[in-house]
Amino acid sequence: MTGPVPSKVEAPSRPADEDDALWREGFKAGVPSLFGIAAWGLVVGVAMIKSGLTLTQALGMTLLVFGGSAQLASLPLIVANAPIWVIFATALTVNLRFVIFSALLAPHFAHLPWPKRLLLGYTSGDMTVALFLQRFPDEAPALGKVSYLKGLLYPNWTAWQVGSIAGIFLGSAVPEQWGLGFAGSLAILCILVPMVLGSAALSGVLVASATAVLAYNFPFKLGLLAAVVLGMLTSMLVQGAIDKRKSHVRS
Amino acid sequence: MSDLEIWITILALACATGLTRSSFWLIGHHITIPPRVQQMLRYAPACALAAIIAPDLLLDERNAMAISLLNPKMMAAVVATAYYLLRRSMIETIILGMAVFTGLRIWLQ
């Protein structure tokens, strides 16, 4: 495997992907975020049960989906009996930010076999991507990149699942009247706030919110899709106007 | 939803995770996303999340508009947003928001 490649004289052998010291470094970098991840999992776990999922369904969801914001977004739609394609489209939209992350992260690992890439990509959430890119801003091969990523990933995944499963059991034990399901909406609010710092994003979100409320009774939850499309277009128009004004000022 | 429908939904959600998080991992080599597309990818998630919670915060049980100081969910969300902007702590924000929501709800009963 690591022998010289005669056809590519210039390419030196790639530094090893795995390195114990880098694994520990990744682990240390991720530790401060683990408590928050577990708490976030706990809220999602409670919200799943409070939306009427059974214990098995909730466990299946947390283990298979592993995406807090998409899970939370799907719950009110499941309660409202929305068509499955609408729930899928919504989750896909909520997850679109991951496409940007994957474009940033993937070139570091393009040399790995595809099943490994699929799995590493699948489990790389917001925090993992941010911390990895802080340590390795450069796409060039470097020692122990895979180890560093795993050092972030495994504890992150574990903390999330432990929190989530604890939430599932906590949610089952707490009476409905406590209204704990609302914690899910508050959690979404916390992810949303940093996304809307900026007038373009904020105007889109205001338009989307107003549309979603006014069109709430549309059949098949189509009001939701209308809200996303109108909100996104608003954001892009405002962004376009801002960019135009900036280039005016500069010239 | 029936048990089977929920499981199909869960599998659909798992696909949504895979399609987005693994997308460029499977393409492999470096690709620069055009700025226009990048804008869409950035703005759409915020709009979707807002569209999901806005009805929960602003409509009452009969789906009528409830923009009022006496709407526990709306007031909790206002306080939570302000607190999160100041402190950036999700856990504290959720605890405070739940306290406002529960307090107002019990007080109004």
**pLDDT, tens digit (0-9, with 9 covering 90-100), for A25-45:** 999 999 988 988 999 999 999
**Could you report the predicted ipTM of this complex, rounded to two decimals?**
0.92
Phi–psi pair at A98, nearest 5 degrees:
-65, -25
Q: Are residues A93 and B45, on separate chains, in Cβ contact within 8 Å?
A: yes
What pLDDT is attached to residue A1?
46
Q: Are residues A76 and B52, on separate chains, in Cβ contact within 8 Å?
A: yes
One domain for residues B95 and B43: yes
Cα distance from A236 to chain B (closest Cα, Å)? Answer: 7
Q: Are residues B12 and A208, on separate chains, in Cβ contact within 8 Å?
A: no
pLDDT above 50: residue A8: no
- Residue A7: DSSP 8-state: S
Task: Please compute the mean of the pLDDT values over residues A60-82 and round it to a whole number.
Answer: 94
Cα distance from B102 to chain A (closest Cα, Å)? Answer: 8
Report how far apart, in Å, the C-alpha atoms of A169 and of each of A36, A38, A46, A54, A165 are.
19, 14, 8, 11, 6
Cα distance from A241 to chain B (closest Cα, Å)? Answer: 13
One domain for residues B55 and B7: no
One domain for residues B70 and B103: yes
One domain for residues A209 and A158: no
Range of the domain at A138: 20-178
What pLDDT is attached to residue A22?
95
Structural domain includes residue A4: no
Q: How confident is the model at residue B31 (pLDDT cuts 50, 70, 90)?
A: confident
CA distance A106 to A92: 19
What pLDDT is attached to residue A14?
84
Range of the domain at B104: 35-108
One domain for residues A71 and A159: yes
One domain for residues B19 and B40: no
Structural domain includes residue A15: no
A224-243 pLDDT, tens digit per residue, is 999 999 999 999 999 999 99
One domain for residues A153 and A223: no
